[in-house]
């Protein structure tokens, strides 16, 4: 027994020693990789400390050696030839096969970069055509970390219909265009995560060293302080968390440059995004040690964000980032979808990024690679003349007169303007602005303008002014007290330095509107509007709450299936508090039901004549929020015996895309009842075509409005 025990132990120790002597490589230094051509390509890994590692490539007779340091890390640099392959790379006893030499690009950002080829326009056709063995795809698994990591999970795969199907569509189309035009192997490293902000992709000390950017670290510190016991405050949105886990491991792998599609997660920080974005680009370049490598990015597409001007202001911050050397911006003003934050046309996005690379990185002369970009302005009597770069074969209007131009004078109030092309310039004017000072173009979130150059590349949105843009919203809260019949209205902003002005007559609050001080107690009001002010500058966000007094307002309500605590909208009485939800599911007024049906029973307190019953539901397909399959209405005199009023069935086509606020209204024809039951049937699971296929679908409802005679209101 003793001998039998010793032998396995000896074998185990021998195996452990052999394992410790083996060379370990990062996941992306492997067979089928693409190495950047014509550079001293870094290769590295880990082994037993002090071990000498030998590296030899089949395109080079020379052997390269490195000694592992005390942490076991070793690194060499091997000169690479012009594009070609396949080659082998031997690292001690390991042989990496099918290695190509070509052009390598990092592809990063949030969901529009992560968006797969399978969810784009003409997906089936594009996937079928995605057979390109000399294009190699590396898809880094999503991870976050408080400290820099040294490896990722993933593998290099030849581009086939199967591997391309789930790969970044933007990256694929970008790489395909380069491969077609250059005729060389292309390696794409896809490292992105939907919904993530730029600060998550930026090194911690870069954020801490800038007075403006420290706000992100301060917010995170507050989040840590307020975290519930057992809850991890760190996630993919935390400062530096993705730089640490999804970018740092690749440094200093040889690359030609980077493409980037992000910004949606930072729209409320547009005032400092240019600083953040520029700092992030500089951070990547310094750490890579390859100089000012090309960095091409996508400007946000038109989309109806909840906060007015926030998306437009972020687009302008991106435009101003072009001041950073060796950057370029693909404009998407003409290929977005105001109702969908994930436009499906990713082919043109990739091609427009490739135009920048072909012209500026690969030296293709004579190419028009950008639409018109605003350069400068000058006053021309009662008009403003605008000058542009990248006019190509000339400025054009895609259809009819130029649209989406605004002009302002000393009062800084922008009004719609007339714009006409005058040679290589545009003249902008308005009869209502005698002495104009500034022009803005396509400066609302969802604007889809029509200025292009002769090559049909769209102009970027822009503004000529540098006036403060305030986008801070007011958080409005109204509570109906059924006992007193009074409305209690409270208001606040995240920035305590802002004033809040409000109106009760439906007008937009201006500088002469009353200033909010403390809770308002009102007996009768239909709409409250509020707006934040920074001195004389009003926020672009005007918040409002509409109050509807009806038969069920403030009445007892029983919700049969539980709502999600994440979307409680104030609790049990939210569906009959007289306050309707807006277009944003995060406004705190929608009650959300995950996979559950919404089934509510309302006690009107006495028999009443009911004429109509209506309910609002919200749709936001990208956020897994679907309209109900159907809504059923019943009434009762005693709460036991129920009579059907009818059922409204949803057209399935309405649940295929987009976002909207939908009213379901049923005519009751003066039926008399005390109790009302409303049941909305949840879709249950996201359908097969949805990115969240099989996941629990959401149903969002607000305000069951009951109208009729003999009102039992207090």
**Closest Cα to residue 108, out of 188, 33, 178?**
188
Average pLDDT, integer, range 688-706: 91
Instruction: Please say if the pLDDT value at position 357 is more than 80.
Output: yes
What is the assigned CATH class of domain 373-463?
mainly beta
Query: Do the Cβ atoms of 159 and 137 come closer than 8 Å?
Result: yes
Highest-confidence segment of 31-45, 486-500, 561-575: 31-45
Which residue's entry shows tokens 């886990």? 245
Instruction: Please say if the pLDDT value at position 5 is more than 50.
Output: no
Kindly give the residue spans of alpha helices, DSSP state H, lying in 196-249: 204-208, 214-226, 241-242
What pLDDT is stored for residue 21 in this prediction?
A: 52
Do domains 373-463 and 470-547 share one topology? The answer is yes
The CA-atom distances, in angstroms, between 287 and each of 138, 252, 527, 550 are 21, 8, 54, 63
What pLDDT is stored for residue 570 in this prediction?
A: 79
Cis ω for the linkage preceding 445 (within 30 of 0): no
88: tokens are 């082998």
Instruction: Please say if the pLDDT value at position 572 is more than 90.
Output: no
Write b or e for each residue in 593-628: b if 16 or more Cβ atoms lie within 10 A of its Cβ, otherwise e. bbebbbbbbbbbeeebbbebbbbbbbbbbbebbbbb
What pLDDT is stored for residue 14 in this prediction?
A: 35
Query: What mean pLDDT is reported for the chain?
Result: 92
Instruction: Please say if the pLDDT value at position 528 is more than 50.
Output: yes
Q: What is the pLDDT of residues 370-379, one digit of tens each?
A: 999 999 999 9
Average pLDDT, integer, range 267-291: 96
> Which fold is adopted by the domain 32-38+86-370?
Rossmann fold (3.40.50)
**Higher-confidence position of 603 and 412:** 603
**Closest Cα to residue 490, out of 477, 499, 481, 479?**
477
Domain boundaries in the chain?
32-38+86-370, 373-463, 470-547, 549-714
Query: Do the Cβ atoms of 115 and 169 come closer than 8 Å?
Result: yes
- Could you tell me the end-to-end alpha-carbon distance of the chain, in angstroms, rounded to an integer? 90
Average pLDDT, integer, range 98-112: 98
Nearest-angstrom CA–CA distance, 188 and 137: 5
What pLDDT is stored for residue 480 in this prediction?
A: 75
Nearest-angstrom CA–CA distance, 50 and 652: 66
Q: What percent of the chain has pLDDT over 90?
A: 78
What pLDDT is stored for residue 539 in this prediction?
A: 87
345: tokens are 């046309």
| pLDDT band at 585; cut points 50, 70, 90 | confident
Q: What is the pLDDT of residues 614-668, one digit of tens each?
A: 999 999 988 899 999 999 999 999 999 999 999 999 999 999 888 889 999 999 8
Collapsed DSSP state (helix, strand, coil) of residue 223: helix
Question: What is 470-547's CATH number?
Answer: 2.60.40.10
Q: What is the pLDDT of residues 12-65, one digit of tens each?
A: 333 333 333 589 999 999 999 999 999 999 999 999 999 999 999 999 989 999
What pLDDT is stored for residue 62 in this prediction?
A: 94
Which residue's entry shows tokens 């709450």? 545
Which CATH entry fits the domain spanning 549-714: 1.20.1370.10, 2.40.10.10, 2.40.50.100, 2.60.120.260? 2.60.120.260
């Amino acid at each position: 027994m003793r001998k039998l025990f010793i032998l396995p132990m000896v074998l185990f120790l021998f195996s452990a020693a052999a394992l410790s002597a083996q060379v370990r490589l990062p996941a992306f230094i492997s067979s089928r990789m693409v190495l950047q051509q014509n550079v001293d390509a870094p290769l590295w890994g880990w082994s037993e400390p002090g071990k000498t590692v030998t590296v030899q490539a089949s395109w080079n007779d020379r052997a390269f050696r490195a000694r592992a340091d005390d942490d076991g890390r070793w690194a060499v640099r091997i000169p690479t030839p012009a594009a070609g392959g396949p080659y082998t790379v031997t690292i001690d006893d390991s042989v990496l096969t099918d290695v190509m030499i070509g052009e390598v690009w990092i592809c990063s950002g949030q969901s529009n970069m992560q968006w797969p080829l399978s969810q784009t326009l003409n997906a089936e056709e594009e996937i079928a055509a995605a057979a390109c063995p000399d294009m190699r795809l590396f898809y880094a698994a999503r991870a976050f970390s408080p400290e820099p990591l040294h490896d990722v999970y993933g593998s290099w795969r030849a581009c086939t219909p199967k591997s391309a199907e789930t790969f970044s569509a933007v990256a694929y189309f970008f790489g395909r265009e380069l491969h077609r035009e250059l005729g060389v192997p292309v390696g794409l490293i896809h490292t992105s995560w939907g919904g993530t902000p730029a600060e998550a992709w930026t090194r911690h000390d870069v954020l801490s060293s800038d007075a403006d950017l420290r706000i992100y670290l301060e917010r995170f510190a507050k989040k840590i302080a307020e975290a519930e016991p057992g809850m991890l405050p760190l996630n993919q949105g935390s400062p530096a968390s993705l730089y640490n886990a999804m970018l740092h491991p690749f440094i200093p792998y040889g690359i030609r440059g980077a493409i980037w599609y992000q910004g949606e997660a930072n729209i409320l920080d547009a005032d400092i995004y240019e600083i953040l974005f520029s700092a992030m680009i500089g951070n990547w370049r310094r750490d890579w040690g390859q100089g000012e490598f090309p960095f091409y990015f996508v400007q946000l597409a038109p989309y109806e964000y909840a906060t007015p001007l926030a998306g437009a202001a972020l687009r302008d911050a991106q435009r101003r980032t072009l001041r950073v050397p060796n950057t370029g911006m693909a404009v998407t003003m003409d290929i977005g979808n105001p109702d969908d934050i994930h436009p499906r046309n990713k082919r043109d996005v990739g091609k427009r990024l490739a135009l920048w690379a072909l012209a500026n990185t690969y030296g293709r002369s004579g190419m028009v690679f950008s639409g018109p970009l605003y350069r400068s302005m000058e006053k021309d009597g009662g008009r403003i003349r605008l000058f542009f770069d990248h006019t190509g074969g000339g400025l054009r209007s895609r259809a009819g007169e130029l649209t989406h131009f605004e002009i302002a004078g000393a009062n800084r109030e922008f009004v719609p303007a007339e714009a006409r092309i005058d040679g290589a310039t545009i003249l902008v004017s308005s009869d209502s602005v005698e002495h104009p000072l500034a022009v803005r173009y396509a400066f609302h979130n969802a604007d889809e303008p029509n200025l292009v150059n002769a090559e049909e590349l769209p102009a970027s949105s822009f503004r000529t002014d540098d006036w403060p843009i305030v986008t801070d919203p007011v958080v409005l809260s109204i509570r109906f007290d059924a006992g007193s019949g009074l409305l209690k209205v409270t208001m606040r902003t995240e920035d305590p330095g802002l004033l809040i002005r409000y109106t009760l007559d439906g007008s937009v609050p201006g500088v002469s509107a009353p200033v909010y001080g403390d809770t308002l107690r009102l007996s009768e009001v239909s709409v409250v509007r509020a707006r934040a002010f920074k001195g004389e500058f009003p926020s672009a966000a005007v918040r409002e709450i509409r109050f509807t007094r009806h038969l069920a307002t403030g009445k007892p309500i029983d919700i049969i299936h539980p709502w999600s605590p994440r979307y409680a909208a104030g609790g049990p009485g939210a569906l009959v508090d007289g306050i309707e939800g807006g277009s944003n599911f995060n406004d705190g007024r929608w009650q959300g039901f995950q996979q559950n049906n919404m089934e509510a029973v309302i006690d009107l307190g006495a028999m009443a004549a009911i004429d109509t019953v209506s309910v609002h539901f919200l749709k936001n397909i990208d956020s897994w929020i679907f309209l109900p399959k159907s809504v059923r209405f019943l009434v009762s005199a005693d709460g036991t015996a129920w009579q059907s009023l009818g059922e409204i069935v949803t057209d399935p086509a309405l649940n295929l895309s987009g976002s909207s606020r939908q009213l379901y209204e049923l005519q009751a024809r003066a039926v008399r009842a005390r109790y009302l039951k409303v049941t909305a049937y949840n879709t249950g699971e996201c359908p097969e075509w949805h990115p969240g296929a099989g996941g629990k679908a959401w149903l969002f409802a607000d305000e069951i409005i009951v109208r009729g005679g003999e009102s039992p209101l207090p």
